[in-house]
Structure 1
Amino acid sequence: METMVRRPAVAAPAWIRNPAWDLALALAWVPFVVAAELWRGDPDRIVWLVGATLLFSVSHQPLTLPLVYGDGAVFGARRRLFTLSPVIFLAAVVVGRHLDPVVIAVVAGAWNAGHTLQQRYGIARIYGRKAGQSDGRVEHALLWALLVFALLWAAADPATPDRVAAAGLGGRNQQGLAVLTDLAPVARVAVVPVLVLVGVLALVWVRQELASPRVNPAKWLYLASSVALFGVILVEPLAGFVGYVGAHAAEYFLVVHRHLGDRYPDPVTDGGAPLGRAVRSRPGPTGVIVAYAVLVVTAIYAIGHFFGPEVFATVFLTLGALHLFYDGLIWKLRRPEVARGFSIPSPPASPPSPTSSPSSSFS
């Protein structure tokens, strides 16, 4: 009996916006990596690049707040949670800053790395949903395996400590990377099994794509770029770190800007949300993002200049924690208003699972 292999129906790429915009999204990490490579022999410029990238990363985090507090429907869905969370997280940050700094560094680093990875998975899900693909579990596992493999490889590499020292990192970032390099003996044992897992998951993913009735080449582009970024982390951990962190913030700005116009098309659809009124004003979504950028840059300067590093760290650690927590709640493609923002047909409504976890952006 002849075995028939079904080929997927490859349609035209379903872009989030258009080919040029999506290419910029996929390659958002490249400018950071190029800068790190060009300045590799200049410690002063590397220190400046790392600091600027971290500040850029900090600047995108408060953007989650207007998405929650500027939209009555979003805020009203979890009114008590969104009212109490700022106070709870502020208290947790104040207490946490007096605990063992190494423990805080490890927890903060792991949470940020995971959150950034979840955003990459979420963007891949947008592309998948545009092709009618409802199951992203294999992609999710594959991306996590790639991240773990890249981190283990960096930890096992004897040259990593010198690269970390050359970066001039301070505070929790330096402490977190120092813990990573201290795990070198464990990493050298674990790296091969994780590589095997990556290979198995990659084969399963290819089979899944071949069996899919419709695929999206735009998703392939984004995932290929993500794999390339993990490859950079393998060979140049510092450049990869800068690219990973910087691209996360750049992608967030791009995705939110793209999302706003379609999410808030008119007062009837969005219930007259204040954020919707701002988006529909003459400056439009671009004006909203520019106004936000001016406000955040002013706040970063004012808090750092007038209140000092302790207050600055407390404020932005709190905002960062709220960003990580809120993103896992508000970016769910199964919600009609979120799907609308990416021009994705809404699926039939279904009750949320009581065991679901608010950990994934754009999922």
Structure 2
Amino acid sequence: MTQLSAAQRIPRSRPRLRSTWLYRPGTDLLIAWSWLPFYAVTALVASAGTADAVVVAILGWVLAISLLHQPLTLLLVYGDSGQFRAHRRLFVWGPIVAVGLIGATAVLGLWVLVLPIAAAWQVFHTQQQRYGLLRIYGRKAGYGSPRLDRAMCYLPLAAVTALVVALPAASDQLHRFAAGIGSDNASKLDQLFAARGTILLLLVPLVVAALVAVGLYLRQERAACRAGEANPAKWNYLLASAALLAGLVVNPVAGLVAYVAAHALEYILVVDRTLAARYGRSSPPSSLLGVLAGTTVRRNLLLAGFFLVLALVNVELRGTIPATAYLVIIYVVGLLHFGYDAVIWKARRPAVAAEFGVRPAAPG
């Protein structure tokens, strides 16, 4: 019998995995799971069946939070001269073009075209934000596939959306709580339910595609574990995303509240951390935001004051100007938010990459 050498007798230890967070564990957990209290409260109240007005109020407040987070993009752009100079032409002409487009839509009465496009773009924008965070987790750990990350952001959501539309409970809840999401949003969902037959035909292919994406992702993570590259911090974010999708199936109205809240709160938290990283340094401030957000106290006061002023302006506008004019303002701000975000958060930019602690992606 051959005697084993000492090296052969010692079992090979697995590489030790290290969590690489976006910021700190507490902040990342808050980013991933901030939607959970909204879901729990809404599901609890909705299940009672006797407090529909409370659910409607929750929907209204969450949509207000979603509305108020959008102008943060304008603060980041127009409050920093360096940011503004980087894309001066876009930031000068953007508002003019947006007002022209949305104003023409209002004059021509084309809201029926704008509403579904805006709804689809909102979902795309939300998922792109989640995709961006997922990519940063992977890049901080030094592994991952952009295609797989994108597939994980879109295919499971598409499958869950088709499944929810196929469930009678979702349609019932829409009619129960339509007042809370507004007539425009309710009409968008009505259009979705009207296409139930087509969506049912797509359900099986979408579920299969989602399962394939999940399987490929699990294989990627298993390989990363063996190589000692896997990032458990990313798993936390993926788990929270999966739980949110499961919540949509179990209770669609609570899931909708959580989905909207998750996007807005994620954005607010990332902006807060960005302000701290970008302007909370000892060097002399070189922009307005450098003065207003240079310390923790000033940054907190800035954000609190910003949201308070926006809330008051929003209430005043809704009560004093025509509904069409109000919608024009809302959609102009939303369009600028979507367009500017696609530019200012690109991790290919060295400054953005540095704030997240990753190397800029190679061009091409």
TM-score normalised by length of structure 2: 0.88
Tell me the residue number matched to 1:307. 321
Query: How far did residue 176 of structure 1 move?
Result: 0.8
Q: Does 1:75 align with 2:89?
A: no
In 2, the alpha carbon distance for the partners of 1:261 and 1:322 equals 24
**Do structure 1's residue 31 and structure 2's residue 37 form an aligned pair?**
yes
Q: Distance in 1 between matches of 2:97 and 2:14?
A: 49
Higher helix share: 2
Aligned equivalent of 1:295: 309
Letter in 1 for 2:89: R
Aligned residue for 2:359? 346
Match of 1:51 among 57, 60, 69: 60
| 2:105 is equivalent to residue 86 of structure 1 | no
Alignment length, in residue pairs? 344
Residues 101 and 159 from structure 1, CA distance in 2 versus in 1: closer, same or farther, beyond 3 angstroms?
A: farther
- Cross-structure match for 1:219: 234
Q: Which of 13, 24, 27 does residue 21 from structure 1 map onto?
A: 27
Distance 1:136 1:13, change over 3 A: same
Q: Which residue of 1 aligns with 2:4?
A: none
Q: Which of 175, 181, 196 is residue 184 of structure 1 equivalent to?
A: 196
Superimposed CA distance per residue, residues 177-234 of structure 1 (whole angstroms, 9 cap, x where no aligned partner): 0011011111111111111111111111112222234121111001111011111112
Q: Distance in 1 between matches of 2:112 and 2:160?
A: 22
- Determine the structure 2 residue equivalent to 1:132: 142
Question: Which deviates more, 300-309 or 213-222?
Answer: 300-309
Contact residue 163 and residue 203 of structure 2 kept, 8 A: yes
- Find out whether 1:152 has 2:165 as its counterpart: no
- Cα distance in 1 for residues equivalent to 2:267 and 2:187: 26
Distance, in Å, in 2 between the alignment partners of 1:111 and 1:9 is 42
SS of 1:243 mapped into structure 2: helix
Is 2:348 aligned against 1:334?
yes
1:54 corresponds to which letter in structure 2?
Answer: L
Decide whether the 8 Å contact of 1:29 with 1:244 is kept in 2: yes
Distance 2:249 2:278 in 1: 38
- Structure 1: which 5+ runs fail to align? 1-5, 354-363
The answer (yes or no) to whether the contact 1:104–1:172 under 8 Å persists in 2 is no
Conserved 8 A contact 1:8-1:211: no
- Whether contact under 8 Å (2:279, 2:285) holds in the other structure is no
Aligned CA RMSD, in angstroms, stands at: 2.2
- Map Cα deviations across residues 274-325 of structure 1 (whole Å, 9 max, x no partner): 2123221462432221221122122212222332433322212111111111
Rounded to whole Å, the distance in 2 between the matches of 1:55 and 1:243 is 13
1:10-52 Cα shifts (integer Å, max 9, x gaps):
5321222322222121111112211211221222112111111
Change (3 A) 1:84 1:298: same
> Residues 258-286 of structure 1: CA distance to partner in whole angstroms, max 9, x if unpaired?
12111234486x98132123221462432
Q: 1:143: which partner in 2? A: 153
The range that moved more, 309-318 or 228-237, is 309-318
Q: Does the CA-based 8 Å contact 1:263-1:340 persist in structure 2?
A: no
> Gaps (5+ residues) in structure 2?
1-11
**Residue 125 of structure 2 corresponds to residue 105 of structure 1:** no
In structure 2, give the amino acid aligned to 1:108: A
What is residue 257 of structure 1 aligned with on the other side? 272
* C-alpha deviation, 1:134, in angstroms: 5.8
Q: Which amino acid aligns with 1:336?
A: P
The aligned residue for residue 246 of structure 1 is 261
CA distance in 2, matches of 1:265, 1:45: 40
The amino acid of 2:88's aligned partner reads R
Deviation at 1:63?
Answer: 0.3
Identity %: 34
Deviation by residue 1:144-174 (Cα, 9 ceiling, x = unmatched): 0011111111222233222111112333201
What amino acid is aligned across from residue 346 of structure 1 in structure 2? R
Pick from 182, 203, 216 the counterpart of residue 215 of structure 2: 203
Contact 1:157 1:184 in 2 (8 A): no
Find the counterpart in structure 1 of residue 132 from structure 2: 122
How much does 1:137 deviate? 1.8
Q: What is the alpha-carbon distance in structure 1 between the residues aligned to residue 140 and residue 13 of structure 2?
A: 19
Separation of aligned partners in 1, 2:359 and 2:339: 24
1:171 aligned to which of 166, 183, 186:
183
Structure showing greater Rg? 2
Corresponding residue for residue 8 of structure 2: none
Could you tell me which residue of structure 2 aligns to residue 357 of structure 1?
none
For 2:89 and 2:327, locate their aligned partners in 1 and report how far apart those are by CA, in whole Å: 26
Q: The residue matched to 1:11 in structure 2 has which SS?
A: coil
Contact 1:153 1:191 in 2 (8 A): yes
Kindly indicate whether the alpha-carbon contact (under 8 Å) linking 1:304 and 1:312 is maintained by their aligned counterparts in 2: yes
Query: Cα 1:210–1:297, aligned 2, differ >3 Å: closer, same or farther?
Result: same
Identify which range, 69-78 or 258-267, moves more after superposition: 258-267
Q: CA 1:217–1:10 in structure 2 vs 1: closer, same or farther (change >3 Å)?
A: farther
| TM superposition score normalised by structure 1 | 0.88
